[in-house]
């Protein structure tokens, strides 16, 4: 017995030695301090976050009493912090493995890491690289929140009375609960609708099905009615769950992760909406981010900066429409995201290519809008059927800039050395039918197109002059104005792509949305 106890004690000490070595390795020192009163964090912007992180046990300081808040962190160190903060179980390293191997294995198994860190796990990590980990670490919390909201709405008395697509939810419920093959009551828990799905699936598995299609018994009719009601309720639940599952699966690309991390308030801007994706993450920033993830997963939500999210949306799909104009563009009509990859046009001979590089919304009343330079760096004009106005004089509206790139790889042989460039524009049937008679630049009543202003001829320029140019890229910017006053419409709000105007081509819908 004494020998066995000695063996257990030896194993315990060996395990603790391994874990201690791992903890030291993760910050590249030999010993660490667990004292949160470090001599280099007083007055630092992240002092409260550092203290909180040390108390939570997912990071420590250095043996010299410092925390080194502005030192960079590697991918290994960041993942180790995240795994510890989320309290995932960790095994001891196997013989020959590094201290980080168990943490990496856990990070991969819990989908925190998917070969995202292009710099290498042992190198300082950037803000852009960590977005995938931030999103995946909070994905289940977001999913459960969306499910709860959707199920609460779908099973509210008002929604069931008006939106249940079958005869009556109450009648289906009574039929199901009357069956001896259904266990319990039909109560859909918004936090866990999967339990109801399991109940109904079990019912459909257990209930007898009619064997003779010509000679049904009374029980056959009863069972068939129950089966129909169970399928109705299952369909109703899944119709709410499936779009959320689809959204969950779509959030996989790196640029989409950047947007989601900003939207959730996990990745904050570095000033005026700047993302600074290539900036290295410091220890202070790392613990702040991990603290936010832990709080998010316990139900706390963070206010996201509009312009940070808008610039992250630009990274994702080349536009900030959903962020800046949610009243019109946050409810996709067909479930499709903004299809920026379709905004490309090529001449028949291949000598001219045109793409819409970005489609950017600017708040004309906000001098702090991070994309304000699009308004001030160039002169644009627009027309109201009777006279021209300057874009810089407009207030009470938004300008949506279509930034178009025309690339020439040879002489296209077009008349007058002019090319009608491709571009994106906004369209709504009701707006189109509204008279374009805004009395001044402060009283927009619908959407208006704007183009570069030609001061020599006092008019707008809708073409690109390629005289003397056979090779190279020309940037042409035009766009749309819309008022801040919400213009209600039952018709879809569309973003349309117009191809190069000198050759045949059809206008394409890039995105469609409806108001709530």
List Cβ neighbours of 90 (8 Å cut-off, separation of 6 or more). Answer: 83, 84, 102, 103, 106
Q: How many CA atoms lie within 13 A of 447 on its CB side?
A: 20
Low-confidence ranges of the chain (pLDDT < 70): 1-36, 251, 416, 504
Q: What is the CA radius of gyration of the chain?
A: 30
Q: Residue 36 burial (CB < 10 Å; 0-12/13-18/19+)? A: middle
CA 230 distance to own-chain centroid:
35
Lookup result for tokens 């640029």: 255
- Residue 36 has what pLDDT? 57
- Residue 135 has what pLDDT? 96
Q: How many CA atoms lie within 13 A of 465 on its CB side?
A: 5
- Residue 23 has what pLDDT? 43
What does the domain layout of the chain look like in residue ranges?
A: 71-209+217-317, 320-513
- Residue 197 has what pLDDT? 97
Structure tokens belonging to residue 175: 């039929």
List Cβ neighbours of 66 (8 Å cut-off, separation of 6 or more). Answer: 38, 39, 40
pLDDT digits (tens, 9 = 90+) for 433-452: 999 999 999 999 999 999 99
DSSP 74-117: BHHHHHHHHHHHTT---PPPPTT--TTHHHHHHHHHTTS-SS--
List Cβ neighbours of 3 (8 Å cut-off, separation of 6 or more). Answer: none
CA 330 distance to own-chain centroid:
12
SS3 label, residue 442: coil
- Residue 9 has what pLDDT? 36
Is-contact 72 278, C-beta < 8 A? no
Lookup result for tokens 């509204």: 434
- Residue 501 has what pLDDT? 83
Is-contact 236 165, C-beta < 8 A? yes
List Cβ neighbours of 429 (8 Å cut-off, separation of 6 or more). Answer: 489, 491, 492
Q: Residue ranges of the alpha helices (H) in 384-433?
A: 429-433
Among 267, 268, 252, which residue's Cα sits nearest to residue 139? 252
């Amino acid at each position: 017995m004494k020998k066995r106890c000695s063996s257990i004690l030896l194993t315990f000490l060996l395990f603790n030695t391994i874990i201690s070595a791992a903890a030291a390795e993760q910050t590249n020192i030999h010993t660490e301090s667990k004292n949160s009163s470090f001599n280099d964090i007083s007055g630092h912007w992240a002092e409260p976050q550092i203290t909180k992180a040390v108390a939570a046990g997912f990071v420590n300081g250095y043996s010299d009493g410092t925390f080194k808040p502005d030192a960079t962190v590697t991918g290994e160190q960041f993942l180790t912090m995240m795994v510890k903060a989320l309290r995932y179980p960790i095994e001891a390293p196997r013989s020959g493995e590094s201290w980080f191997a168990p943490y990496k294995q856990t990070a991969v198994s819990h989908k925190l890491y998917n070969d995202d860190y292009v710099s290498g796990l042992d190198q300082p990590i950037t803000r852009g690289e960590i977005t995938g980990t931030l999103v995946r670490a909070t994905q289940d919390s977001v999913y459960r929140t969306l499910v709860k909201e959707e199920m609460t709405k779908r099973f509210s008395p008002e929604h069931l009375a008006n939106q249940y697509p079958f005869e009556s939810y109450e009648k289906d419920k009574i039929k199901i609960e009357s069956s001896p093959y259904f266990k319990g009551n039909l109560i859909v828990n918004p936090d866990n609708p999967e339990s109801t799905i399991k109940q109904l699936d079990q019912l459909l598995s257990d209930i007898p099905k009619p064997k003779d299609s010509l000679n049904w018994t009374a029980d056959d009719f009863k069972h068939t009615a129950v089966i129909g009601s169970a399928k109705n309720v299952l369909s109703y639940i899944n119709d709410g769950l499936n779009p959320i599952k689809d959204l969950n699966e779509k959030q996989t690309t790196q640029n989409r992760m950047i947007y989601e991390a900003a939207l959730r308030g996990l990745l904050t801007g570095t000033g005026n909406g700047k993302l600074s994706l290539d900036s290295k993450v410091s220890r202070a920033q790392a613990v702040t981010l991990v603290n936010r993830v832990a709080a998010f997963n316990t139900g706390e939500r963070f206010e996201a900066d509009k312009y940070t999210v808008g610039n992250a949306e630009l990274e994702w799909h080349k536009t900030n429409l959903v962020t800046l104009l949610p009243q019109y563009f946050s409810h996709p009509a067909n479930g499709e995201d903004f299809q920026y990859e379709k905004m490309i046009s090529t001449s028949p001979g291949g000598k001219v290519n045109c793409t819409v590089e970005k489609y950017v919304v600017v708040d004309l009343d906000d001098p702090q809008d991070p994309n304000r330079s699009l308004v001030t760096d160039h002169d644009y004009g627009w027309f109201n059927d009777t006279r021209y106005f300057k874009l810089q004089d407009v207030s009470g509206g938004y300008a949506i800039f279509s930034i178009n790139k025309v690339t020439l790889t040879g002489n296209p042989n077009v008349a007058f050395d002019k090319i009608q460039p491709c571009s994106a524009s906004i369209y709504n049937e009701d707006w189109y039918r509204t008279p374009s008679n805004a009395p001044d630049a402060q009283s927009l009543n619908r959407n208006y197109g704007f183009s570069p202003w030609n001061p020599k001829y006092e008019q707008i320029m809708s073409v690109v002059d390629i005289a003397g140019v056979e090779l190279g890229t020309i940037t042409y910017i035009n766009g749309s104005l819309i008022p801040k006053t919400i213009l209600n419409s039952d018709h879809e709000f569309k973003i349309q792509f117009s191809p190069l105007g000198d050759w045949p081509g059809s206008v394409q819908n890039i995105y469609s949305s409806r108001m709530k």
